[in-house]
Amino acid sequence: MEKKIPEVSLLKFLKHSLEILKNPLPFHKKNFTEKGDIFKLNVGFNTKIFFCRDAALAQYVLQKNQKNYIKSSIQTVDLVKYVGEGLLTSEGEKWKKQRKMLQPAFHKRQLQNLLGNMQDTIASEFKKINPQQTTDVFPLLNDLAFQTVVKSLFTKAAREEDMERLQFITEANQQMLVRELRQPYLAWWFKSSKILDKHLKLTEEAREILKQIVNDRKASKKRYDDLLDMLLETRYDDDTSMSDEQLIDEILIIFTAGHETTANALTFTFQLLAKHPEWQDKIQQEFTNLESNAKDLMARVSSSKICQQVLEESMRLYPPAYFIDRLNVEADSFNGMAFEPGCNLLFSIYEIHRHPELWEEPEAFKPERFNDSARPFSAQYFPFGAGPRKCIGNNFAMFEMIIAVTELLKNYKIYPEFETIAINPLITLKPKNALLKFEKRS
């Protein structure tokens, strides 16, 4: 017998629209509590979204039957106009072709070449810390993550003013996309007032900056062993390389997806560590032991198990990519629920990661739950997504975050200057008022 999926009315949605604009998560949580692990939200007269915190359904859609599911227009249309059609936003054969070609560039062996540069960049950014004052760490970590991506992509081949401009454009366009998604009823205003045109011109400016960097690299004939070299050298099965336009699409996506999610995760991690100083001591002790025993930086990073547990628990509580959306191509059913073609499924990773039936003490910070790595939880833990479309940069992000956490804690103790961890759910789950105090280690 077919199960009826509970509905939330358009009237209820409109009644709470202002709260949803600020932070939709409490509204979702209330509906999950009242309706169960899946509910249908009417957001227009003919538009419905299925909100889901059923981990088994998420695994089915993202892994077991992933061929029947595509990304929604949020990524394949709305985001495309700002970052182009690269690995994150493409579908079908184009995506398969790009993934196959790009995968080797993000393999652990290739990333090993980037770690020294990554560590230098992170250490340099941490020199901006002033131990005498309370600091909102998100801007600091946002700059750190952006500079790490820049140096990993371009080594020192990019002009500072160009990178500052790229960072501004990336963040301004993301804010505009949030407005478009949260306020679809203002689409006419965004067009008629030329606000949208202004942001699309910013995108063109970003593409021109990147085109110049690529052309300069090609003309220089120099090798830097950075990500740009790897991307220029990758080949399709027929031995052809990416077009310049495709290369720029991929670089824009690396900037967009690669820096803010890492900055978010690091900020939440440092806030949690500030609240739980015993884990600061454990990481610092682990670092001291590894520094004297590990042969090289890759060995040290790969052996930083305690630090990895802390990061994994932080991303459980505060997953930067806090929702994943999919549309089914053909009719499908799961556990008695029927989905006609084109159903918009929105998986709340935030809620799955805090589901009381899946996690012991779901609201508590307990890194020890990941003692044996995240593998035992693979059916309910999706910080980088799951299945074939799992984030290609997950190793890059984990290496960067381990280096950043150990680099900071070997030099500083951190203390909270906030009461509770506040969140700002935009395209990604962003922190708010992440105020910390730093004390130099003796």
pLDDT at 366: 97
Q: Is the distance from CB of 266 to CB of 149 less than 8 angstroms?
A: no
Rounded Cα gap, residues 332 and 84, in angstroms: 30
Three-state DSSP class for 277?
Answer: helix
Please give the average per-residue pLDDT across 75-99, as a whole number.
91
| Of the listed ranges 9-13, 44-48, 119-123, 324-328, the one predicted with least confidence | 44-48
- The predicted structure's pLDDT at residue 222: 87
Which residue type, as a one-letter code, is found at position 234? Answer: T
Q: Evaluate if residue 210 carries a pLDDT over 80.
A: yes
Beta bridge partners of residue 51, listed in sequence order: 39, 346
* pLDDT value of residue 368: 97
The chain-wide mean pLDDT, for the chain, equals: 92
pLDDT at site 57: 97
Q: 346 and 300 in contact (C-beta within 8 Å)?
A: no
- Report the pLDDT averaged over residues 102-116: 88
Residue-level pLDDT at 108: 84
Element (H, E) at 242: none
Say what the pLDDT of residue 333 is.
95
Confidence check: pLDDT of 2 > 90? no
Please give the Cα distance from 240 to 247 (Å, whole number).
Answer: 13
Burial 410-419 (b: 16+ CB within 10 A, else e): ebbbbebebe
- For residues 99-120, give the mean pLDDT: 90
pLDDT at residue 47 in the model: 78
Predicted local distance difference test score (pLDDT) of residue 295: 74
Over residues 319-334, the mean pLDDT reads: 96
Residue 168 confidence (pLDDT) above 90:
yes
Contact 267, 434 (CB under 8 A): yes
Residue type at 173?
Answer: N
Instruction: State the sign of the Cα–Cα–Cα–Cα dihedral 70, 73, 78, 81.
Output: positive
pLDDT in tens, 284-305: 999 999 987 767 899 999 999 9
Percentage of the chain modeled with pLDDT above 70: 99
Q: How confident is the model at residue 361 (pLDDT cuts 50, 70, 90)?
A: very high
Q: CA 27 to CA 17: how far, in whole Å? A: 10
Rounded CA separation 382/397 (Å)? 14
Paired with 326 in beta bridges are 345
**Average pLDDT of the segment spanning 120-135:** 94
Query: How far, in Å, CA of 313 to CA of 369, rounded?
Result: 8
Q: What is the DSSP string of 168-234?
A: HHHHHHHHHHHHHHH-GGGHHHHHHTTHHHHHHHHHHHHHHHHHHHHHHHHHH-----SHHHHHHH-
d(CA 44, CA 256): 30
Model confidence band, residue 184 (pLDDT cutoffs 50, 70, 90): confident
Residue 329: the pLDDT is 96
Q: Average pLDDT of 195-205?
A: 95
* Residue 156 pLDDT greater than 80, yes or no: no
Domains recognised in the chain with CATH numbers: 74-322+361-440 (1.10.630.10)
pLDDT of residue 293: 75
Chain length of the chain: 442
Q: In what order do the strands lie in the sheet with 38-42?
A: 7-8, 38-42, 48-52, 344-348, 323-328, 69-70
Beta-carbon-side half-sphere exposure of residue 64 (alpha carbons within 13 Å): 11
Q: Residue 194: its pLDDT value, please?
A: 93
What string of DSSP letters covers 62-107?
IIITGGGEE--HIIIIITHHHH-SSTTT--HHHHHHHHHHHGGGGS
Of the pLDDT bands very low, low, confident and very high (cuts 50, 70, 90), residue 182 is: confident
How many whole angstroms separate alpha carbon 141 and alpha carbon 399?
Answer: 15
- Cβ atoms of 135 and 436 within 8 Å: the answer is yes
- pLDDT band for position 105 (cuts 50, 70, 90): confident
Burial of 197 (0-12, 13-18, 19+ CB in 10 A): exposed
Chain-centroid distance, C-alpha 251: 15
Does residue 225 surpass a pLDDT of 80?
A: yes
How confident is the model over 56-70, as pLDDT tens digits? Answer: 999 999 999 999 999
pLDDT tens digit sequence for 376-411: 899 999 999 999 999 999 999 999 999 999 999 999
Looking up tokens 């103790």 gives: 413
